[in-house]
């Protein structure tokens, strides 16, 4: 091998060594980058972090803990009260007060159609059936674990106006919670119509009975069963029995 060829071979060997070192450095940087920015291995684009010298907390804010005080003002709670007059989105204010004559003067604005009654049954069976039962007789799924509520077709509730039933659904009554946030006004009025249907079913007229017989309607399975120590108890047998008075 001539001196010229030997020089060429030495230069080629040096280039190969330099290339290997460059490749190793590139691999090392890539591995370090994967450790420093793990999201690069799972996302096509890196996340951009916008920070400013004056407002670093705009990106990394401290968590707010309930019942704690504001670190910037120890006299103020973290959970601030909304300004006066603030209402939720799609909020519908309830215009009635506790004036009974005003409540009784309210009439159901919805027509009693099958569409309205189907909606009323849907919401009644969602929110009311657990206590009042499917027949509104108080044999709901809470019986007998909790006190049986009075039937909605008793003489007292039968005398209530539509406005008072709507008012009770809105604001609650006794142990019954308010449903003003769960049901909008139209849905509550639909439930009022359905309650009237349940009251009519509990006190059918002769014509109602004749029509039910003609249609072959059977309502014997409407009572929900309840869990007992030995299995399910029929709803009609789950009515809480008051203890006999002492002799």
Averaged in consecutive runs of 10 residues, what is the pLDDT profile of the chain (247 residues)? 59 56 54 49 60 59 71 73 78 69 90 94 92 86 79 91 94 89 93 95 88 80 61 57 44
What pLDDT shows up at residue 22? Answer: 56
**Segment holding 103, helix H or strand E:** helix 100-104
| Closest C-alpha to 153, from 138, 141, 163 | 138
One-character DSSP codes across 144-184? TTSPPPPPTTSHHHHT--HHHHHHHHHH-BTTBPP-TTTS-
What pLDDT shows up at residue 244? Answer: 43
What pLDDT shows up at residue 243? Answer: 41
pTM for this predicted structure: 0.56
Q: Mapping DSSP to helix (H, G, I), strand (E, B) and coil, where does residue 76 land?
A: strand
Where does residue 233 rank: exposed (0-12), middle (13-18), buried (19+ CB within 10 A)?
middle
Q: Mapping DSSP to helix (H, G, I), strand (E, B) and coil, where does residue 117 land?
A: helix
Q: What are the structure tokens assigned to 46, written together?
A: 């890196």
What pLDDT shows up at residue 2? Answer: 59
Other CB atoms within a 10 A radius of the CB of residue 3 amount to 7
Q: State how far Cα 212 lies from the chain centre.
A: 38
In angstroms, the CA 243 to CA 237 distance is 15
CA dihedral (129, 132, 138, 140) in degrees, to 10, reads 30
DSSP single-letter state for residue 140: -
What pLDDT shows up at residue 191? Answer: 97
In angstroms, the CA 148 to CA 125 distance is 17
Q: Mapping DSSP to helix (H, G, I), strand (E, B) and coil, where does residue 123 land?
A: helix
Contact (CB, 8 A) for 135 and 64:
no
Domain annotation for the chain: domains and CATH numbers: 100-237 (1.10.760.10)
Q: Mapping DSSP to helix (H, G, I), strand (E, B) and coil, where does residue 225 land?
A: coil
């Amino acid at each position: 091998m001539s001196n010229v060829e030997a020089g060429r071979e030495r230069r080629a060997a040096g280039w190969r060594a330099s290339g290997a070192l460059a490749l190793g450095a590139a691999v090392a940087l890539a591995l370090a980058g994967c450790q420093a920015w793990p999201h690069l291995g799972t996302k096509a684009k890196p996340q951009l972090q916008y920070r400013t010298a004056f407002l670093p907390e705009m990106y990394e804010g401290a968590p707010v803990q309930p019942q704690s005080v504001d670190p910037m003002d120890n006299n103020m709670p973290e959970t601030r009260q909304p300004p006066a007059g603030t209402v939720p989105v799609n909020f519908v204010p309830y215009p009635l007060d506790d004036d009974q004559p005003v409540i009784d003067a309210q009439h159901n604005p919805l027509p009693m159609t099958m569409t309205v009654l189907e909606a009323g049954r849907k919401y009644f069976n969602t929110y009311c059936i657990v206590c009042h039962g499917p027949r509104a007789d108080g044999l709901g799924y809470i019986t007998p674990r909790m006190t049986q509520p009075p039937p909605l077709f008793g003489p007292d509730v039968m005398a209530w106006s539509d406005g008072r039933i709507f008012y009770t659904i809105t604001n609650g009554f006794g142990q019954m919670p308010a449903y003003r946030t769960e049901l909008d006004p139209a849905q509550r009025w639909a439930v009022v119509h359905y309650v009237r249907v349940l009251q009519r079913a509990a006190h059918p007229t002769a014509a109602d009975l004749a029509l039910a017989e003609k249609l072959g309607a059977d309502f014997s399975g409407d009572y929900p069963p309840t869990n007992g120590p030995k299995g399910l108890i029929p709803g009609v047998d789950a009515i809480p029995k008051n203890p006999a008075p002492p002799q």
